[in-house]
């Protein structure tokens, strides 16, 4: 389906301000630190790829910015802002550059 003519989506850039997933703006990336969710919900999010240490990029959203699609581990997962706010990011200094 894709022939790489021009790389349309800009390479994700690190966020310097966000402390939760919900604070990432479109195109920004952060590294997941912990999930402040009930055990059951956390397990489910981890199964979808949101494990601590995972690089998460904010992508498109529904009109109004909520829910938003996040790219993690090769897939795209949509969630509401209230859930994204429970996924905490590592402080920016510990973010390593993307390969």
Partner 1 sequence: MSDCHGCSASSTVTLPDPAGLSEKSLRLVAIVGPPNCGKSTLFNRLTGLRQKVANFPGVTVEQRTGTVRFDDGREVRLVDLPGTYSLSTRTEDEQVTHDVLLGRRDDVPRPDAVLLILDSTNLERQLLLAAPVLAQGLPTLVVLNMADDLRRRHGSVDLEALSRQLGAPIALVSAARGEGLEAVREFLSGKAAPPAQTLIELPIITDVPKCRMWARQVGSGANYRAPAPPLWTRRLDAAFLHPVWGPLIFLGVVLAVFQSVFAAAVPLTDAVRALVDRSGGAVAAWLPEGVLRSLLIEGVWGGVGSVIVFLPQILVLFLFIGVLEDSGYLARAALIADRTMAKVGLQGKSFIPLISAYACAVPAIMATRTIENKRDRTATILIAPFMTCSARLPVYALLIAAFIPERALAGPLLGTRAATLLGLYVLGFLAAVATARLLKSSILKSHRTPFVLEMPPYRWPTLRSLGLRLYDRSKVFLRRAGTVILGVAIVLWILAHVPLHDGKVPRIEDSVAGTIGRMVEPLIRPLGFNWKIGIGLMTSLAAREVIVGTLGTIYGMEGNPQNLNLQSAIQKDLTTGGAIALMVFFAFAMQCMSTLAVVRRETGSWKWPALQFAYMTTLAYVGAFLAYHIFS
Which residues of this protein are in contact with partner 1, per CB under 8 A?
Answer: 1-2, 4, 7-9, 40-41, 43-49, 51-53, 59-64, 66-67, 69, 73-80, 82-83
List Cα–Cα distances, 56 to 6, 47, 76, in angstroms.
23, 14, 10
Least gap, CB of 8 to partner 1 (angstroms): 6
Q: Which is nearer to partner 1, 47 or 94 (CB)?
A: 47
Least gap, CB of 14 to partner 1 (angstroms): 18
Q: Which is nearer to partner 1, 51 or 95 (CB)?
A: 51
Q: What are phi and psi of 83, to 5 degrees?
A: -75, -45
Least gap, CB of 18 to partner 1 (angstroms): 20
Q: Which is nearer to partner 1, 8 or 16 (CB)?
A: 8
Burial of 61 by CB count in 10 Å (0-12 exposed, 13-18 middle, 19+ buried)? middle
Assess contact for 29 and 56: CB atoms under 8 A: yes
How many whole angstroms separate alpha carbon 92 and alpha carbon 4? 31
């Amino acid at each position: 389906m894709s022939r790489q003519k021009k790389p349309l989506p800009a390479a994700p850039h690190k966020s310097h301000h966000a402390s939760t997933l919900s604070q990432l703006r479109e195109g920004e990336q952060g590294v997941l630190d912990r999930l402040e969710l009930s055990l059951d919900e956390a397990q489910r999010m981890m199964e979808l790829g949101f494990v601590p240490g995972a690089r998460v990029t904010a992508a498109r959203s529904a009109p109004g910015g909520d829910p938003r699609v996040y790219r993690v581990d090769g897939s795209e997962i949509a969630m509401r802002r209230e859930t994204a706010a429970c996924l905490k990011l590592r402080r920016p200094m510990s973010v390593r550059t993307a390969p």
